[in-house]
Amino acid sequence: MTPTWVQLTYLACAVCFILALKGLSGPKTARIGNIIGAVAAVVAVIIPFLYLDLKHVPLILVAIAIGTAGGVLGAQRVQMTQMPQMVALFNGVGGGAAALVALLELRELVPVQDSVNWFVIVATAFTIAVGSISFAGSIVTFAKLQELMTSRPVVFPGLRYVFPIALATTLVLSVRLVIESHVWLGVVLCLVGLLIGLLLVLPVGGADVPIVISLLNAFTGLTVAAGGYVLSNVVLLVAGTLVGASGTFLTLLMAKAMGRSVANILFGALKGGSTLGAGVASDRPVKSAGPEDVAILLGYADRVIIVPGYGLAVAQAQHTLRELVDVLIARGTKVDYAIHPVAGRMPGHMNVLLAEAQVPYEQLIEMDHINGEFKHTDVVLVVGANDVVNPAAKTTPGAPIYGMPILNADEAQQIVFMKRSMRPGFAGIENELLFDPKTTLLFGDAKDSLGKLLNSVKAL
């Protein structure tokens, strides 16, 4: 019987997780929300040492020390551009850990299976299967984002048949596991789950990878919740449910922002489509200019909108961009940042990046609220973004991003594109906005170009 004080402490930790999630919903409260959640997690980890007669304590402490060291090093060394990869790894580690714990619990349940509630076995099978899927899928998303493998969809003849067969096998194994509760069935179920994870993510490419990360995050949350039921741990149950529900909701919102269904994102390549274009740099002529010419456009504009993207994060140019915006505002220019829901490589990527540069939250305007402003804008400055302003989403039915709501940068009086080269964005398709007569390209590294642009604006 769990002592009352332990139950109350776990309940307090669960409440803290809910408060942490609420805090993370806004930039002003995100830091305190993160701290509350972290403290609650530490307390929940410590509690078992205080009331249980644990075995193998030295091994547990070594594992905690290794995990803590990895977390600290990751927090210190991982760049903002690598944050999506780290999130993908966290997803995978969580799902894999839940699957391993379920396998160990299955070994304990086998001798007493006749006296065990059947739903506990169901939860165990679910945790093994979905945790394995999340682990394998997350590793593939990490490899795609880290460019350890191609980010293009990977398909092979027969994939559309192998995948449903693997799913059916998982269901059969899960049912048998509930009936017979053999450890070897759990191991085979885990292996098939790993295969499904690979088959699920390999056909996904391009701009759809962030949505898959969110979906796998929901999977991991559900496995943790199911694992909490198996272990009779209310903290895991509540935390997993929160992650599963919020991850599912976020996945649906992102899919809506892309103008597509989750099923189309996951299985579109199986139908012969693609979520990634050719990825070849264009040799068509464009209008380009130097920092001095662009500075004149910005310096004498009454209304400017900044469109940040992944290139801004790669160059770590957010601080220089904020300085430029501060100078423009001091000159009397009205400036806002247009934030697309899937800009960057993960949800909220641009919000976090700009918050790091102390950009006032009031200047960050979501797509639905700022799209009507572009037609009244003198200059749009696109910094490292591409797909989120690509008119092909509205004009080219065959394009991978067709149907995705975009920022209406093409409606502005003048567009300035800051790019390293003419290579396409993450979706791999050409952007016709680059060849619009209203568009001027400023080539070069974003941080270097913004620094020169800042000096030129100051000199006006």
DSSP for 293-358, written as a single string: HHHHHHHT-SEEEEEE-HHHHHHT-HHHHHHHHHHHHHTT-EEEEEE-TT-SSSTTHHHHHHHHTT
Inter-residue contact 205 to 144 (CB < 8 Å): yes
Phi, psi of 275 (to 5 degrees): -100, 15
> 378, 387, 410, 445: which is the annotated catalytic residue?
387
pLDDT digits (tens, 9 = 90+) for 290-320: 999 999 999 899 999 999 988 888 888 999 9
Closest CA to 220 of 339, 297, 131, 308: 131
Average pLDDT over residues 69-73: 88
d(CA 354, CA 312): 10
Average pLDDT over residues 339-356: 80
Q: Give the chain's domains with CATH numbers.
A: 78-271 (no CATH), 291-458 (3.40.50.1220)
d(CA 232, CA 240): 13
Q: Give the residue ranges of DSSP H helices in 331-445.
A: 349-356, 367-370, 392-395
Concerning whether 387 is annotated as a catalytic residue, the answer is yes
| Out of 14-28, 53-67, 111-125, 162-176, least confident range | 111-125
As given in the structure block, the two tokens for residue 421 are 């080269």
Q: Which residues are CB-neighbours of 409 under 8 A, at least 6 positions away?
A: 305, 307, 338, 374, 380, 382, 389, 415, 433
pLDDT digits (tens, 9 = 90+) for 368-413: 899 999 999 999 999 988 888 999 888 888 777 777 888 999 999 9
pLDDT digits (tens, 9 = 90+) for 216-226: 999 999 999 99
Inter-residue contact 201 to 337 (CB < 8 Å): no
d(CA 49, CA 42): 12
pLDDT digits (tens, 9 = 90+) for 172-218: 999 999 888 889 999 999 999 999 999 998 888 766 777 888 899 99
pLDDT band at 269 (very low <50, low <70, confident <90, very high): low
Strand ranges for 140-294 from DSSP E: none
- The pLDDT of residue 396 is 81
Phi, psi of 409 (to 5 degrees): -65, -25
Phi, psi of 336 (to 5 degrees): -135, 160
Inter-residue contact 378 to 414 (CB < 8 Å): yes
- The pLDDT of residue 92 is 92
pLDDT digits (tens, 9 = 90+) for 360-377: 888 999 998 999 999 999
Instruction: Say whether pLDDT at 59 is over 70.
Output: yes
Q: Which residues are CB-neighbours of 44 under 8 A, at least 6 positions away?
A: 10, 13, 235
- The pLDDT of residue 274 is 46
Inter-residue contact 208 to 428 (CB < 8 Å): no
3-state secondary structure of 439: strand
Top mean pLDDT of 205-209, 247-251, 426-430 is at 247-251
Residues forming a β-bridge with 381: 306, 416
Angle between helices 183-201 and 118-145 (to 10 degrees): 30
